[in-house]
Amino acid sequence: MSGTSGKRAAGVRAAREPAAGDRGRRLWNEAVETLSRDAIAELQLQRLKQQVRYNYDRSPAHRRKFDEVGARPEDIRSFEDFSRIPVMTKDEHRRVQQESLERHGSPFALLGCAAPEEIVRINATSGTTGVPTLYTLTAHDVAIVNEMHARKYWRAGIRPGHVMLQALSLSMFTGGLPLSQGIMHLGACVVPVGIEGGTKRVIDIARITRPHAIVATPSFGQYLIEEAPRLTGRPASELGLRWFFCAGEGGGGDPEVRRALADGFGARVFDHTGGGHAFHGISCDAPAEDCAGMHFVSEDHCLLELVDPATRAPIALRHGAIGEMVFTFLDWRGGPFMRYALGDLLQVWTEPCACGMPG
């Protein structure tokens, strides 16, 4: 969250595929990813005002949130004004989803914003407990998600011509189809093997396709390191992987885990987050003991807030601040989350990273 350029926000477009001559540059979308803090804030506030009006007009559930505090979209003139709107939790999301299903025959009638004919995909959040929380995407939203994945992998060095093995669940998990589409959007080749076929199938496909990179949970990566000698007679390092992208669970930022993956595969290790929604981040490949977290790459489409977990009072986004993560989708049309709290604690660093990357 530490962009340094003074470029203005006006005219920024969501997707910008680099030309062939741009392959050596460090960022996928320099126009957006190098915006100054002031320019990002200006863009976010502009999009926030548009988004709250859109949500209010089209979603009864979002409108209720405004009604709870006697507010209307025109009252939202600042981020401070917006912080008055009550948060939505996953439990509340499930209740609204069930109410919508019972009253209207659709889980999206109360929370969704776009017309049914505009919806092209339904995703579920990645939680493993309770009823899945669903949200919808239009083609516009899918393009945003693809853009965010491209930003992450480009920063890590992935380019057209690289082959990436997708070894996460290919079910409705947001790291399944959305992630695979994002890899394709960058121009790289995805091998969507998933994990449903088991460890041996992942290893067999890796030996045949010779991928440059793999996306998997860190625990599955460690299991592959253990099992490769038994299943193939060769160490995992001989699979030829140059990148290991951690996703789907915690652990990718743990120094011991990162070191084990780097040594076991002989690969650069990155932790990253963000599947089919608007919150996306990726670490740099700092030495295991120096990894300080992830660079936030989607600020133009996701407003991040910190709140006190007990009182939900706002916490200023200062260097080192810790609080519960609350996010709002910006420029989103299908089922935009608004002040959505997953229950995750987050620590924010605002000073420049030693790697030189913004975000």
Total-model pTM: 0.88
Q: Is the pLDDT of residue 36 over 50?
A: yes
Least confident of 83-87, 214-218, 273-277, 322-326: 273-277
Q: Name the range with the highest mean pLDDT among 63-77, 114-128, 184-198, 232-246.
A: 63-77
pLDDT band at 172 (very low <50, low <70, confident <90, very high): low
More confident residue, 36 or 4: 36
| DSSP H helices in the chain | 30-33, 37-58, 60-68, 79-82, 90-104, 139-156, 177-186, 199-209, 218-232, 255-265
Q: Could you tell me what percent of the chain has a pLDDT over 70?
A: 88
Distances 193 to 164, 171, 215 between C-alpha atoms, Å: 10, 12, 11
Confidence class of residue 109 from pLDDT cuts 50, 70 and 90?
A: very high
- Cα separation, 32 vs 11, in Å, equals 10
Alpha-carbon torsion angle 120, 193, 285, 179, nearest 10: 0
Phi then psi for residue 173, to 5 deg, are -55, 135
Q: How far apart are CA 52 and CA 342, in angstroms?
A: 20
More confident call, 7 vs 210: 210
pLDDT, position 245: 94
Domains of the chain: which residue ranges? 25-347
Q: What is the Cα–Cα distance from 92 to 30, expressed in whole angstroms?
A: 38
d(CA 325, CA 302): 12
What is the rounded (10 degree) CA torsion for 187, 191, 196, 202?
A: -140
pLDDT digits (tens, 9 = 90+) for 295-338: 899 999 999 999 999 999 999 999 999 999 999 999 999 999 99
Q: Is 83 helix (H, G, I), strand (E, B) or coil?
A: coil
Neighbours of 341 (CB within 10 A): 22
Phi then psi for residue 137, to 5 deg, are -130, 140
Q: Is the pLDDT of residue 275 over 90?
A: no
List, in sequence order, every residue forming a beta bridge with 124; answer none if it has no partner.
134, 173
**Residue for token digits 């008055």?**
84
What is the per-residue pLDDT across 174-207, written as a single tens digit (0 to 9) for each?
A: 677 888 999 999 999 999 998 888 899 999 999 9
Residue in this structure with the two tokens 């992830």, named with its chain if needed: 294
Q: Of 231, 219, 213, 178, which is closest to residue 195 (Cα–Cα)?
A: 219
Q: Which residues contact 148 (CB under 8 A, 6 or more apart)?
A: 182, 274, 278, 280, 297, 298, 301
Task: Express each pLDDT in 46-97 by its tens digit.
Answer: 999 999 999 999 999 999 999 999 999 999 999 999 999 999 999 999 999 9
pLDDT surpassing 50 at residue 11: no
Instruction: Mean pLDDT check: name the lowest of 6-15, 171-180, 225-234.
Output: 6-15
Write down the residue that tokens 């804030």 correspond to.
41
Reference 240, options 269, 217, 206, 263; nearest CA is 206
Per-residue b or e along 20-39, where b marks 16 or more CB atoms closer than 10 Å to that residue's CB: eeeeeeebbbbebbbbbeeb
* Residue 355 pLDDT > 60: yes
How confident is the model at residue 276, as a pLDDT? Answer: 64
Among the ranges given (18-22, 139-143, 310-314, 340-344), the one the predictor scored with the smallest mean pLDDT: 18-22
**DSSP characters for 206-252?**
HHHH--SEEEE-HHHHHHHHHHHHHHHSS-GGGG---EEEE-SSTTT
CA 16 to chain centre: 18
Superfamily of domain 25-347: ANL, N-terminal domain (3.40.50.12780)
Work out the mean pLDDT of the chain and round it to a whole number: 88
pLDDT bin (cut points 50, 70, 90) of residue 173 is low
Helix axes 199-209, 218-232, angle to 10 degrees: 80
Cβ(3)–Cβ(33) under 8 Å?
Answer: yes
pLDDT at 178: 86
